[in-house]
Structures are given as C-alpha cells and as structure tokens.
Chain A
Amino acid sequence: AQKITQTQPGMFVQEKEAVTLDCTYDTSDPSYGLFWYKQPSSGEMIFLIYQGSYDQQNATEGRYSLNFQKARKSANLVISASQLGDSAMYFCAMRDGNQFYFGTGTSLTVIP
C-alpha cells in the first residue's frame, strides 16, 4: 500500500501568490514524522519543513507552512509569496520506523 500520496503531478502559480501542494499519508503507527523536501533540477534534496505526529501546532519555516490535519491524514505544504526560485519538484515524506517513505512528487512552476 502506498504510504505517501501526492495527487498533483504538476502545479503552476503566479509569482508572489500562495500555493498549496497536497499530501496524504497512511500509517497505523501513532508516532511518525512528516517532511517536505525540494528537489531543484540540480538533483539535491533540500529539507524544507518537519511536522511531528504529536505536534499540536502546524509547523512553519519562513515562507513554508505545513497544514497538518491528523484525522484526515493530510500534510499539505503551503508556500506563500512564491518566487521564481521556488520552481522545482517537491516531495512529501514520512518517517515511519527506520525508513523515510516518499511520494511521487509535485512539479511546481512559478510564472513571472
């Protein structure tokens, strides 16, 4: 069964606008971590934001925030005030046990 599902293969956003990238996850473990990574065309995976399953508040890191809805098992990434440099692949991931499970990614293109 798929642990992480990202249903948006590609997204477009106007520069300076906000965008939401969807992610749902599946686990029966009460303790887990959720992550978002950015992968530009250079190939490196850049950590963006983390949400623990017991965290009461949504995580925020600068222009990134994670909309964590535990009952719905969703962990959407919100990028505010999009910049041209935000154009990249975005991967949602879950740490469950000893592994990180990744989704198939969403390609974000920021339009000037």
Chain B
Amino acid sequence: DTGVSQNPRHKITKRGQNVTFRCDPISEHNRLYWYRQTLGQGPEFLTYFQNEAQLEKSRLLSDRFSAERPKGSFSTLEIQRTEQGDSAMYLCASSSTGYTEAFFGQGTRLTVV
C-alpha cells in the first residue's frame, strides 16, 4: 500500500449529470475525509468517516452531495445534478486515530461544463 489513491484523476461532465469519485485510503487508517479545494483557496472540509460511520458533514454540503464508506475501507463521493459551481479539486485523506497527520490522495479535478 503506497498511499491514498483517488480515481479518476480528472473528470469533465456536463451540467446536470451525476458523477462519482472513489477514494482508497491507506489500509490501516480508520479515518477518512473528503475535502474540496477551489483555485487559490485552502481545502474545505466536506465530510468525515470513522470506519464505516459518517460522523460529520459540513453544513455547506448541499443535499446533492452524498458519501459512503460501506465496509470501512474505500469511500465514494457522489454529486448529483452537477452545477458549474461544483468545479473544483476533490481531495480525499486518511489518518489513524489520534492527533496524527492526514495523508492526502492526488485528488480528482472536476470540471462542469
């Protein structure tokens, strides 16, 4: 296991379409995070899983966004009815319990046209 893996790396979609991203965390990490980053900004928190439980979700996250981590391993982030404002880099990170660092994947860059 060499790190956090995200697929796809790039996604171009038409407005109104649904998209799904996948994140495979570091295998022994029980915590998984999704972040969104727009140009010139720092990553913005979207949601957090501990094992399979989604424990926290940003109030900024519209109901078009849903995330799952069915068996406490990989996670998916789905965006329904995409809008141009959803264009961003979507970052996944994982960490172990405690105040330890989170390791990030290379991100999925979404462009909505």
C-alpha gap A53/B104 in the complex (Å) = 22
Whether A35 and B101, one on each chain, are in contact in the complex, defined by CB atoms closer than 8 angstroms, is yes
C-alpha gap A53/B98 in the complex (Å) = 13
A27 to chain B, nearest CB (A): 12
Whether B101 and A45, one on each chain, are in contact in the complex, defined by CB atoms closer than 8 angstroms, is no
Could you tell me the dominant secondary structure of chain B's interface residues? strand
Q: Mark B74-107, 1 if CB is under 8 A from A, else 0.
A: 0000000000000001010100000111111111
Whether B99 and A33, one on each chain, are in contact in the complex, defined by CB atoms closer than 8 angstroms, is yes
C-alpha gap A100/B42 in the complex (Å) = 11
B33 cross-chain contacts in A, Cβ below 8 A: 99-100
Q: Mark A29-59, 1 if CB is under 8 A from B, else 0.
A: 0011101010000111111001011000000
Q: Is B48 at the interface (CB under 8 A from chain A)?
A: yes
> Which size bracket describes the interface of A in this complex?
20 to 34
A6 to chain B, nearest CB (A): 8
User: Which of B31, B35, B106 sits near A44, CB closer than 8 Å?
Assistant: B106
Q: How many A-B residue pairs have CB under 8 A?
A: 64
Q: Is A102 at the interface (CB under 8 A from chain B)?
A: yes
Whether B48 and A99, one on each chain, are in contact in the complex, defined by CB atoms closer than 8 angstroms, is yes
B91 cross-chain contacts in A, Cβ below 8 A: 45
Whether B99 and A31, one on each chain, are in contact in the complex, defined by CB atoms closer than 8 angstroms, is yes
C-alpha gap A28/B105 in the complex (Å) = 30
Given contacts A31-B99, A33-B100, A43-B106, contact A98 B55 (CB under 8 A): yes
- Write 26 A-B pairs (CB below 8 A) sorted by A numbering: A32-B99, A35-B101, A37-B104, A43-B89, A43-B106, A43-B109, A44-B105, A45-B91, A45-B93, A47-B103, A47-B104, A52-B99, A53-B99, A91-B42, A95-B102, A98-B50, A98-B56, A99-B48, A99-B56, A100-B35, A100-B93, A100-B102, A101-B45, A105-B40, A105-B41, A105-B42
